[in-house]
Chains A and B, each alone.
Chain A
């Protein structure tokens, strides 16, 4: 059973004076997320990431399509006990203390009083706010608020956690802390669906990523495959800058540092390049196949024309 199954999820907003025209915000999104998987939903700002999460959370209603979470319709109230959600740049009731806030959210999720009393101090410790439980949220820094945000998303021990841009607006230390927290959720076996436009975060945490652009799903990639996939290019380093002039047609990119040359070439030109370097008596230092990066995958997918299908 898939943890999340999204089928043809579509959202359009009426625009214009008479509201007769429809502006699509999400175009027929179809994807699945496996149980226990950390799934990155990446795309530039305005791509449709938040729209997707708002649809799944029942904050807005789809124009077409639907989704199942843990095998049940996403609107099912029972399912909402088993999911957690952190909105983008969340704001919480700042007149409450962290403990009061978590108690309120846990009670809304059906956690009984005895369990709340036991669970909340542990949870505050887990997110690094053990000594700030009684402090009002208006006195919290942005990083602390984001940690409270994660805590409220998991206070009822959900099986699936949705995080919308969890690292956005945080400084490097804050980002690192949130990344560690997400990693701990991953280690605890939770299914995590998180949207981000920060590729390094997705690269560090995700098992799979989906690229969304202009409301369209552009592709889904497995991180390990992306990392190990050959790009069709090889990096060659040699000593002897004089040889570069003779082999210039065989390389696509080159950088010279003193006598050392670092050049990129296509796989099919590698033999000819190595032969030419031998003839020029250049000393070969290394030959390394270039691996794919998420950035390359992302840029390739987002530069495809808008009508492209998955």
Chain B
């Protein structure tokens, strides 16, 4: 089982790496991060703050774009091009295919985020001309970004398991946008009454809470991130992604492929 999972994951990774669109995105982000020191020209004394905000947001946003744009084709492309036929005629369970694809895309995102992080730290060093203790805080924000990727990829995979690529992209982006403002939805639920309260509370718990994973402005101000938040966010992201990936598997297990 693990050999088949890793073979599928590595092939997914290989496809992404050989995809030129992916390189373009990575180069774009590296350029963006590398050009961050230029902000010091227009924001005297605040260059570190702006660099951290722009750099980490870019890592997050471009990772999410990669996750969604590759994720929507993970299953549908294999069905459309009928490459899935030659996979399912082998001793591969359908869930192994889905989870292998999931791991493969996550591996791609982790490697990309790793490259971007290296670029980001170089830009940080260029700006500060020194290494500060607070620089380590950025790794917590990047860890949360990876948790965000874990959830976004699972959500995209779920839509990809039953919908067309375009609808999958729309649904996934919409859910990402809603999840980014999950705190507002929770606040609204707290203020509402009756059926509205009930519905908005249900929606607030159903949508992914990306707001709690965003600590970029906190680390940009060199503020400490509590260990409990790291623990709770880790558990939440794992449980949410696990549940969504399980739903994707359940749908795919029953699907008649055209």
Contacts and interface: CB of A to CB of B under 8 A. Distances in A.
Contacts of B85: 54, 57, 59, 85, 87, 90
Interface size class for chain B?
A: 20 to 34
Interface stretch (A106-114, A207-215, A263-271): A106-114
Given A54-B85, A85-B85, A92-B83, A109 B90 contact: yes
B7 A108 contact: yes
B88 interface: yes
A179 interface: no
B251 interface: no
A145 B254 CA distance: 31
Contacts of B15: 93, 95
A91 B257 contact: no
A85 B89 CA distance: 7
A105 B257 contact: no
B89 A91 contact: no
Nearest to A103: B7
A152 interface: yes
Interface in A223-270: none
Given A93-B15, A107-B3, A80 B86 contact: no
Given A85-B85, A87-B82, A90-B86, A77 B257 contact: no
B228 interface: no
Interface string B148-169: 0000000000000000000000
Interface in A37-67: 54, 57-61
Contact of B83 (A54, A91, A109): A91
Contacts of A59: 84-85, 88-89, 256-257
Nearest to B79: A59
Contacts of B257: 54, 59-60
A281 to B, nearest CB: 67
B212 to A, nearest CB: 38
B14 interface: yes
Given A78-B91, A107-B3, A87 B14 contact: no
A297 interface: no
Contacts of A152: 86
A109 B18 CA distance: 24
B221 interface: no
A238 B93 CA distance: 67
Interface in A70-101: 77-78, 80-81, 83-85, 87, 89-93, 95-96, 100
Nearest to B78: A93
Nearest to A85: B89
Contacts of B11: 93, 96, 104
A195 B48 CA distance: 67
B129 interface: no
B4 interface: yes
B89 A58 contact: yes
Given A57-B85, A60-B256, A105 B90 contact: yes
Contacts of B235: none
B86 A58 contact: no
B82 A83 contact: no
B86 A83 contact: no
Contact of A81 (B3, B82, B91): B91
Nearest to B87: A108
B82 A80 contact: no
Contact of B93 (A57, A60, A77): A77
Contacts of A109: 90-91
Interface in B214-248: none
Nearest to B19: A95
B92 interface: yes
11 contacts: A80-B92, A83-B89, A89-B82, A93-B83, A95-B14, A95-B15, A104-B11, A105-B86, A108-B8, A108-B87, A162-B89
Given A80-B91, A109-B90, 10 more contacts: A54-B85, A57-B88, A85-B89, A87-B86, A89-B82, A90-B85, A95-B14, A95-B15, A108-B87, A156-B90
Interface of A: 54, 57-61, 77-78, 80-81, 83-85, 87, 89-93, 95-96, 100, 104-105, 107-110, 152, 156, 162
Closest 4 CB pairs of A and B: A85-B89, A57-B89, A87-B85, A80-B91
